[in-house]
Structure 1
Amino acid sequence: MKGIVLVKFNEFIEELWGEGFWDKLINEADLPSEGAYTTVVTYDDQELFMLIGLVAYKQNISVRDVQFAFGKWVFKEFYNIAPSGAHDFEDVFEFLHAVQDFIHVEVKKLNPNALVPEFKFLSETFNKLSFHYISPRKLCFFCEGIVHGLAEQMGQAVNVSQSECEHEGGQRCVLVVEKV
């Protein structure tokens, strides 16, 4: 996991529950990095999963809700640092295609070892798009939140659901985005 994600998770947690709550998480998690994150270092994915699990436990909310809320929150952060040209898209569907065809390509140019999710687009109409979300990290709920953050940025209302989900016994995660 690139450090930028963990740095942003720290900011997200502190914004919602304060610096003291973040410090308690780090102390309780007993992480190899000790929670000293920098944006350019790569950390074990388990650090994020451990922190998400602790937040869910301590705040009595689901892991799904923590991932979703973080994804929605972090979209604007990622949007602000997106590569040149990423801000040229004004539609949720266009942007989602650009993530696969442009943004992740640019990320890989800067960091060839970056492990970015893949989107395989399955169907699209004027108001509905479905895609297979592929990632060994299985952060499909985080992706749902990202899509909601994207929709807010674009000024569009969407419903996001999963017609299949690995966490619910499916063979894959298929996100369905519908403009409303």
Structure 2
Amino acid sequence: MKGIVFTEFLEMVENKYGIETVDKIITESNLESRGAYTSVGTYEFKELEILIKKLSQNTKITSQNLMHLYGIYFFDTLTKNYLNLFDHYKDALQLISGIEKHIHVEVRKMYPDAELPYFETHESSDSKLVIEYNSERAMYSFALGLIERTLDHYKENAKVIMKLLNNSGTRVLFTIIKNA
């Protein structure tokens, strides 16, 4: 997993819970990397899982809720670093439906070794999008946070329905319906 995911996660933890919490979860986690991440490095996903589990234990917030909060937080990283990306899309549904065919194509050009989720569009119109998330990492709550912030970014009011297609959360169906 790309280092930016780790560095931004630790930045979020510091901003929301303080540097002491960052130090505590790193110390408690016994990580191979020892919590020393660079944004361009590549690290094992299990380290992020461990950090989230330790943060969950320290904050009493579920791991999935923390992943959701992180997805919301990470969106701001995308807008800071890739603001022109958002100019290519007229609305949130267009951007979200373009993840696989445009955004992930560009990400793979910059980071050929990036392991990204796969999104399959099942239905797309101006007012509704049904998209399936597929990833062995089961970061669907992170994806939900990104979807919600995308809607906020475009100032769109919509309902997001999330349905797990398997118990592990590696396949999830998102239905986004714009409110009239």
TM over 0.5, shorter chain: yes
Q: Distance in 1 between matches of 2:118 and 2:143?
A: 11
| Deviations 1:137-165, CA, capped at 9 Å, x for gaps | 11111100110111111111222222334
Q: Distance in 2 between matches of 1:116 and 1:77?
A: 17
| Deviations 1:35-77, CA, capped at 9 Å, x for gaps | 1110111000001111111111211111111010100111111
Q: Distance in 1 between matches of 2:84 and 2:117?
A: 20
Other-structure match for 1:111: 111
SS of the aligned residue for 1:123 comes to strand
For 2:23, the aligned partner's letter is D
Q: Single out whichever of 116-125 and 41-50 deviates more from structure 2.
A: 116-125
For 2:38, the aligned partner's letter is T
Q: Distance in 2 between matches of 1:170 and 1:39?
A: 27
Other-structure match for 2:59: 59
User: Structure 1 residue 9: deviation in Å?
Assistant: 0.1
Q: Distance in 2 between matches of 1:54 and 1:158?
A: 33
The alignment of Structure 1 onto Structure 2 pairs a total of residues equal to: 179
Q: Distance in 1 between matches of 2:10 and 2:169?
A: 31
User: Structure 1 residue 127: deviation in Å?
Assistant: 2.1
User: Structure 1 residue 136: deviation in Å?
Assistant: 1.6
Other-structure match for 2:15: 15
Q: Distance in 2 between matches of 1:63 and 1:158?
A: 25
Work out whether residues 4 and 40 of structure 1, in 8 Å CA contact, stay in contact via their aligned partners in 2.
Answer: yes
The gaps in structure 2 that reach 5 residues or longer are: none
CA RMSD of aligned residues (A): 1.8
Q: Aligned pair 1:74/2:69, yes or no?
A: no
Q: Distance in 2 between matches of 1:119 and 1:20?
A: 37
Q: Single out whichever of 120-129 and 31-40 deviates more from structure 2.
A: 120-129
User: Structure 1 residue 171: deviation in Å?
Assistant: 8.0
For 2:104, the aligned partner's letter is H
Other-structure match for 1:4: 4
The percent of aligned pairs where both chains have the same amino acid is: 28
Q: Distance in 2 between matches of 1:130 and 1:164?
A: 13
Work out whether residues 83 and 103 of structure 1, in 8 Å CA contact, stay in contact via their aligned partners in 2.
Answer: no
Other-structure match for 1:155: 155
Work out whether residues 82 and 103 of structure 1, in 8 Å CA contact, stay in contact via their aligned partners in 2.
Answer: no
Using the size of structure 1 for normalisation, the TM-score is: 0.92
Other-structure match for 1:38: 38
Q: Single out whichever of 4-13 and 126-135 deviates more from structure 2.
A: 126-135
Q: Single out whichever of 43-52 and 79-88 deviates more from structure 2.
A: 79-88
Q: Distance in 1 between matches of 2:85 and 2:142?
A: 24
